[in-house]
A = this chain, B = another copy of it.
Amino acid sequence: MGMIRQTLKKRFGTPEKQLHLRVICSTVGPGKARLLGLIAEKNSITEAAREMRMSYKRAWQLVDNLNGSFQEPLVESITGGSHGGGSRLTKTGERVLELYRAIHEKSLAATAKELKKLRGLLKP
């Protein structure tokens, strides 16, 4: 039970009642943005999926969905190399992740006052 709770906390960052802003831009939400960030970091869909406690199949579906939503793919395979392959973000993928993060940060900054007021009305 403690284990599950810890897992949930790790996955979703904040407890349910705490106020936070989720930014969802039609095709990209916090889950897909985190996946892109982890692929950029680890150069591996398998590793990114493991970090998110998600099956490889599910992660691949999300990547496939993202690739199909944009004019150019966001994630591409690396063939060969010393690690024998993997995946990485394309230039477009890096750009999308950068824009998503900017949108999230700017939204938070622009609404900090209102979020604080709203938080003050919630049950503790």
Contact = CB atoms under 8 A, between A and B. Distances in A.
A60 B35 CA distance: 36
Interface string A19-38: 11111111110000000000
A4 interface: no
Given A20-B26, A27-B122, 7 more contacts: A20-B25, A21-B23, A25-B115, A95-B121, A102-B111, A106-B110, A110-B110
Contacts of A123: 68-71
30 contacts: A14-B26, A17-B26, A17-B27, A19-B26, A19-B27, A20-B25, A21-B107, A22-B24, A23-B23, A26-B122, A69-B122, A70-B122, A70-B123, A72-B121, A92-B121, A95-B121, A96-B118, A96-B121, A99-B114, A99-B117, A99-B118, A103-B114, A103-B115, A103-B118, A106-B107, A106-B114, A107-B107, A107-B110, A107-B111, A109-B110
Nearest to A111: B103
Interface in A62-100: 68-72, 92, 95-96, 99-100
A18 interface: yes
B21 A118 contact: no
A72 B122 CA distance: 8
